[in-house]
Amino acid sequence: MPLINWRDDFEIGIEEIDHEHQELITLINEAHSALQAGADMPSVAAFFGEIYARISAHFALEESVMRRLRYAQTEAHKAEHEELLDGIRDIMDGYERGDYAQYQELLATHLETWFTDHFKNQDARLHRFIHDHEHI
Ligand SMILES: [Fe+2]
Ligand SMILES: [Fe+2]
């Protein structure tokens, strides 16, 4: 079973961002099934690295859209992005220090909760703002 299921209400209405959200979910689900299938430490670490890099690039795109639209909640939205990146980095560090199973599980639940909440709150708010300002 996938860790995160795509839902239509995740859609922001900016094609590039929606596309990246879907790609991120696919990657996270792939990593999750690799973990469940007992992938070895180097492949799990590679998945974490890839997830981290792709999420950072995605956030940079979203933040540039927010700046372009002079979105008032850019700072609050950006702060959540930074919190997630810090959280992932901490989990990756923990994983590399040992106790693999615990950190694998931690990363999976952390990403699932964070994405679902962030999509529903910050990204959905950005979505509504873009809809109200479609003439921009
Ligand atoms: Fe976001
Ligand atoms: Fe996003």
Residue pLDDT tens, the chain, 136 long:
888 888 887 888 888 888 999 999 999 999 889 888 988 989 989 989 999 999 999 999 999 999 999 999 999 999 999 999 999 999 999 988 988 888 888 888 888 888 888 988 898 899 888 888 765 5
Among the bound ligands, name the one nearest to the CA of residue 122. Answer: 1
Decide: residue 12, CB within 10 A, 0-12 exposed, 13-18 middle, 19+ buried.
Answer: buried
Q: How far is the CA of 59 from the centre of ligand 1 (A)?
A: 6
Residue 48 Cα to ligand 2 midpoint, Å, equals 18
* For ion ligand 2, residues whose CB falls within 5 Å: 62, 123
Whether 77 and 66 have beta carbons less than 8 Å apart is answered as yes
The per-residue pLDDT for 102 is 86
- State the distance from the centre of ligand 1 to the C-alpha of 136, rounded, in angstroms: 20
Query: CA angle, 37 as apex, 7 and 52 as ends, to 5°?
Result: 55
Q: How far is the CA of 99 from the centre of ligand 2 (A)?
A: 30
Determine the distance separating the centroid of ligand 2 and the alpha carbon of 40, expressed in angstroms.
Answer: 29
The CATH number of 14-132, from 1.20.1250.20, 3.40.630.30, 1.20.120.50, 3.40.190.10, is 1.20.120.50
pLDDT of residue 79: 97
Q: Report the predicted TM-score, pTM, of the whole model to 2 decimal places.
A: 0.87
Q: Give the distance (Å) from ligand 2 centre to CA of residue 62.
A: 6
Cα–Cα distance for residue pair 36/102, rounded to 1 Å: 12
CA 77 to ligand 1 center in whole angstroms? 6
Q: What is the pLDDT of residue 135?
A: 56
